[in-house]
Structure 1
Amino acid sequence: MLKGSVEANDRPAPVDALFLIFDRDRRPQRSDLIDAISTIQDTSISHDPFERDALHRQAREAGAVRRDGTWLELLKWGMTFDCLGLAPGPKLALPPVRHRLSISSDIDLASQDTIALTPGPHLADASNSIPVVRALLDTAMDLTKALEGVESLCWGPSGSAMSRSVFTSLASSWIEGGPFPALGLIGYYLDREGRLRSDGLQWFLGRELALSPDLSRDRNAATRIAIRLINELMPLGRLDQETRFICDEGEELFVAPAPEHLIEVRKM
């Protein structure tokens, strides 16, 4: 867990969100987001709470209220996403960051400012589906290019933070038909038993990978196996029975559901 103070007016954001991280006091305002959206071809604003509030509208016409608000609903590919945490409203508290890609451990991400993109209420039951996550990442990628000051991003379900360039590379590759970004949306760590474990796969498949200790001795090789296996499993949606998996080296692996919401991976 990262060190860093959380101000009294900070509020927690949904864990299933994708966070855009800015330097302190550099969060965009409502008007900044509206300007950014106007430059994105396939994204629009589907709901603006500020515009719908008659009292605010009357006050604005009288010149008594600034044109700002704390969130907007965006429409992308027929799906809606809420953009939360806009300035000057309360700041969002970034969830604990457990994994970093191309971000120095010296950077205190918890002290920086964030906005969050999260699936709209009508997508609540499908927020972990591939079409929704693809649309969410594509929206974030567009905003990263259109907004000034985006330094890094963090995927809530795995607590994985990554630099702007890493996110853009992974997301664009997937959107253009490449593999699922198993390196960016899923984290990896060694548990006390010496097994390489995934962190965040449960959000998609209901289980986490656990590679046997002998497969995990070489962490880089084990991570490659995990990434390759995740890309095989994602189209299935879940794993209910044992199966076999051939890794790049030609070795056959045993893959099966296990207690504690795990997927056991070991040599045959």
Structure 2
Amino acid sequence: MSADAGWIELLSDGLTFDLAGLAPGPVIAAPAIANWYGVKPVPNGCAAITLAAGPHLAGAEHLLPVVRVAAALVASLSALPGVRTVSWLPADCATRPDWFATAVEAWVRGGPFPALALSALERGEQGVLASRGLDFLIGQDFRLTGCSDLAPDDAARIAIRLTDWLVVHGAPETPREVELEGAGSVWIAAEPGGEPGGMIEARRR
């Protein structure tokens, strides 16, 4: 622990995390973010406080139990005065602090995965939706097609339900059809071999 150097160690549920960017230490510039949900991009010059898994968690940062504790800590820290946004760097996304806290706290209590807080959706041509940051959790992102006839919000709802399903069940070992609560069915297939960094192809049925 070195508060004078601008960082401290936090302990939660037996796991340690490093909180950096604190005064009187050096300022950490807010990162450039691609995906903003419910909040305007912060202006240049804003400072960041960062939370990272401690050294004893090296290699385990992506495991769901660790992510859940880290996200819960960030949710608590988001209530600090002066916090304007909460960014989740694996997904290159940022949200309102109160929205992040509400979504994460619901997940910690057994609710759905907070898809637009801990992952992102990026829209391509012909209505294609691709996840971003899901590979941090399950090793692969997905590309969802077959939604070009839907309103953007309806297509996003399917993608959010699919994100939750994949976080719970993991990437599919074989092609299969899955029924998503309130969103119909989707055919999903991982790239051959299911290699980390690959893409899960998903198509609305």
For normalisation by structure 1, the TM-score amounts to 0.68
Partner of 1:100: 36
Which residue in 2 is equivalent to 1:25? Answer: none
Output the amino acid matched with 1:256.
Answer: A
Given candidates 92, 96, 112, the residue that maps to 2:46 is 112
Task: Give unmatched runs, 5+ long, in structure 1.
Answer: 1-47, 51-67
Query: Out of 8, 17, 34, which is 1:81 matched to?
Result: 17
Aligned to 2:143: 210
Once residues 183 and 46 of structure 2 are traced to their aligned partners in structure 1, the CA distance between those partners, rounded to angstroms, is 45
Alignment of structure 1 residues 62-211 onto 2, 5 Å: 68-105=4-41, 107-108=42-43, 110-145=44-79, 147-192=80-125, 194-211=127-144
Check whether the contact 2:173–2:190 (CA below 8 A) recurs between aligned residues: yes
Distance in 2 between residues matched to 1:250 and 1:73, nearest whole Å: 42
Shift of 1:80: 0.4
Offset of residue 134 of structure 1: 1.1
The one-letter code matched in structure 2 to 1:223 is: A
Q: For residues 7-32 of structure 1, give each alpha carbon's deviation from its aligned partner in whole angstroms, at most 9, with x where no partner exists.
A: xxxxxxxxxxxxxxxxxxxxxxxxxx
**Fraction of identical pairs, as percent:** 34
Q: CA deviation at 1:113?
A: 1.1
C-alpha distance in structure 2 between counterparts of 1:267 and 1:82, whole Å: 41
Larger radius of gyration: 1
Letter of the 2:167 counterpart: M
* Change in CA separation of 1:49 and 1:194 when aligned onto 2, cut-off 3 Å: same
Question: How far off its partner does 1:148 sit?
Answer: 2.3
CA deviations on 1:92-148 (whole Å, 9 max, x unpaired) are 23332111122124x42x421111011111112110111111111211222233x32
Partner of 1:184: helix, strand, or coil? helix
Deviation at 1:72, TM superposition (A): 0.9
Contact 1:196 1:216 in 2 (8 A): no
Give unmatched runs, 5+ long, in structure 2. none
Q: Following TM superposition, where does structure 1 have runs of at least 4 consecutive aligned residues deviating by more than 3 angstroms?
A: 247-252
* Other-structure match for 2:203: 266
One-letter amino acid of the counterpart of residue 124, structure 1: A
> What letter corresponds to residue 64 of structure 2 in structure 1?
I
User: What residue is the counterpart of 1:49 in the other structure?
Assistant: 2
Q: CA deviation digits over 1:189-211, x for unaligned, max 9?
A: 12245411111111111111111
Secondary structure of the equivalent of 2:186?
strand
Contact 1:154–1:160 under 8 Å retained in 2: yes
In the alignment, residue 90 of structure 1 is paired with which amino acid?
P
- Structure 1 vs Structure 2 CA RMSD: 2.1
Q: Is the 8 A contact 1:157 1:200 kept in 2?
A: yes
Cα separation, 1, equivalents of 2:148 and 2:121: 11
TM-score, normalised by the number of residues in structure 2: 0.88
Aligned to 1:244: 177
C-alpha distance 250-78 of structure 1, shift in aligned 2 (>3 A): closer
What is the aligned length?
200
CA contact (8 A) 2:144 2:203 kept: yes
In 1: Cα distance, 2:127 partner to 2:61 partner: 32
2:155 partner SS: helix
Deviation readout 1:43-82 (Å, 9 max, x if unpaired): xxxxx136xxxxxxxxxxxxxxxxx331111110000000
Aligned mates of 2:15, 2:188 — CA distance in 1: 35
Match of 1:11 in 2: none
Residue 155 of structure 2, aligned match among 208, 213, 222: 222
**CA-to-partner distance for each residue in 1:245-267, whole Å, 9 max, x for gaps?**
12446743211013771111114
